[in-house]
Chain A
Amino acid sequence: MKDLSTYAASIRSKVIQLSHQARTPHLGSSLSCADLIVALYKSHLRIDPQNAQDPTRDRFFLSKGHAVTTLYAVLAKQGFFPESELDQTYAEPGSRLPEHPSRNCVPGIEASTGSLGHGLGLATGVALANRIQNIDAKTFALLSDGECNEGSIWEAAMTAAALQLPKLCAIVDVNKWQATGRSAEVLALEPLHEKFASFGWETHRIDGHDFAAIDKALSSFPHPSGKPTAIIADTIKGKGVSFMEDDNNWHYRIPNADEVIAANKELGLA
């Protein structure tokens, strides 16, 4: 688990650096889901970086596409594409690495996301296709809590439960903020785990920064009940950097050079 923490710290550092150099927002959202994405790619997803189109692979949909720098950083570190490309070209005109991901822009990006509410429907379709084609693979969609404002998420939740797709897993990064307010106040979001449970899902509510808890929840999936699994992960927006944590200004703010140095120091990378 210590290895994962160190790995996640390096991802956070990269994400902060990318935001600084390309002047792209959504840093708080990228930091809140970093541990979840790290745990998935380091310990659970069965995807060969050298054969990222293998039809029998597990699939991960980053439905909250605005947090893609975290996914880019992990994919690069895992060997899906060169890390130097990320460092040198992220969000530059003509780059393969846009601010919101486009399907197959680099190996490992399954879908074009950036508009919220799409990833769970796509993942439901993939999970159904795998069952019909007898492909033994898992399908994951990572959502934001604000994203659960979208009706399409709940359409997909009812559909996946009706279709009994046990190999479908929704992970909700509950960082408690959306763009302009507290998620639980903007719409009546909570209790989110009870909502998913009542929609027919096997549900876990965990600390989304506790690698042991993340591993336990992911290891109990797929559930023998035949239900799809929802992991409601409580996280902190801006996690890992004290002056960003739970401060929603970092939904849009860009860190300056001094803030990058301070953040790296806190992450143990100075």
Chain B
Amino acid sequence: MRNAFAQEIEKLAQDDPRIILLSGDIGNRLFDSFKERFPERFINCGVAEANMVGMAAGLAMAGMRPVIYTIASFLIYRPYEQLRLDVGYHGLPVCIVGVGGGLSYASNGATHHALEDIAVMRAIPGMQVLNAGDAWEVRAGLADALRSEKPCYLRIGKKREPLVHTEAISQPLLGRCISLGDGKQAALLASGNLLPHAAEARQLLSARGTSISLFSSPSVHPLDTELLETLFESGQPIFILEEHNRNGGLGTATLEWANDQGLDTRQLIRIGTPNTFIHRTTTQQDSRETCGLTAQDIADKIHSRLRQEANPT
């Protein structure tokens, strides 16, 4: 996803001279082409995230469209007050791009895990939050965020994630889910880098005779309330999948919304990481296995819930 980000930001910067890219001392070689073409509009801000966010806010105040980029765990947790005040309180159009969302950097340890980032970012009033599921969503999300002229957090993965979409996405991402297949018995909404697992889980279920609809749901804030209304109305179980702490992510955001609407939240099942730090030496795949987030785990969870509903004890 990061290569897609680098290509897309260069393309967008070509058309909009207000775009300036700020990096927190990462992306070695990744932005060589951008730097060569727009040397004035690339700043390595060093390992000083608080200032990177504050400076981005100042740039936005003076008419630029800053895009700030570093590892999600460092970008969100360290300078949270700058994100809340300098960007959020001022309502400035800063695009905040966190690379390595979720467990992308699992092998680097919990310092590098971004599993609470969405929870805290969606708590900032006026902050839009997008969680990209593949490289096409990174491209569409970045363009969408810049077009919105409002603060936006765009969480992306790392590298070599499989593509789920087969072509460029033409619809807006903010506040909209993307349908990836119909189904009768349940709906699965996947947000972010587990999207390929969700697609695989749907196939596994189909092989077992279970038919579910699948939606990519990159937009955590705003929610696609139109789709959610329809899904709740159908009475089907709605599964929400994300590589994020089950507390505070898209699942929780949806629960809160549904509760506010007076809907039956028992229909909603959140699938995410447990509310614990991961101390185990691990890889992304290993940690997904530990957390029950493989395609097989997801399919099993859905299957078992549907069986439970069919045969209540």
Contact = CB atoms under 8 A, between A and B. Distances in A.
Contacts of A158: 46, 48
B95 interface: no
Nearest to B62: A129
B54 interface: yes
A255 B41 CA distance: 51
Interface stretch (A44-52, A68-76, A108-116, A185-193): A108-116
Nearest to B61: A126
Interface string A50-79: 000001000100000000000000000000
The bracket for how many chain B residues form the interface is: 20 to 34
A19 interface: no
User: Most chain-B CB neighbours within 10 Å: which of A110, A121, A151, A159?
Assistant: A121
Contact of A125 (B40, B55, B85, B89): B55
Interface string B48-60: 1011011111111
A237 interface: no
Given A115-B81, A132-B40, A133-B63, A124 B51 contact: yes
A23 interface: no
Contacts of A171: none
A125 B63 contact: no
Contacts of A128: 43, 55, 58-59
A123 B56 CA distance: 10
A247 B43 CA distance: 44
A127 to B, nearest CB: 8
Nearest to B91: A103
Given A124-B51, A132-B40, A152-B50, A118 B86 contact: yes
A126 B82 contact: no
Interface in B4-52: 20, 40-41, 43, 45-46, 48, 50-51
Nearest to A113: B85
A159 B48 contact: yes
B58 A125 contact: yes
B61 A110 contact: yes
Contacts of B85: 112, 115, 118
Contact of A126 (B40, B41, B62, B89): B62
Contacts of B54: 118, 120-122, 124-125, 152, 156
Contacts of A117: 50
Contacts of B60: 125
B25 to A, nearest CB: 12
A263 B50 CA distance: 41
Interface of B: 20, 40-41, 43, 45-46, 48, 50-51, 53-64, 66, 81-82, 85-86, 89-90
30 contacts: A55-B63, A59-B62, A103-B89, A111-B61, A112-B90, A118-B86, A120-B54, A121-B53, A121-B57, A121-B86, A122-B61, A124-B51, A124-B55, A125-B58, A125-B59, A125-B66, A128-B43, A129-B58, A129-B61, A129-B63, A132-B20, A132-B64, A133-B63, A133-B64, A158-B48, A159-B45, A159-B48, A159-B55, A162-B46, A163-B43
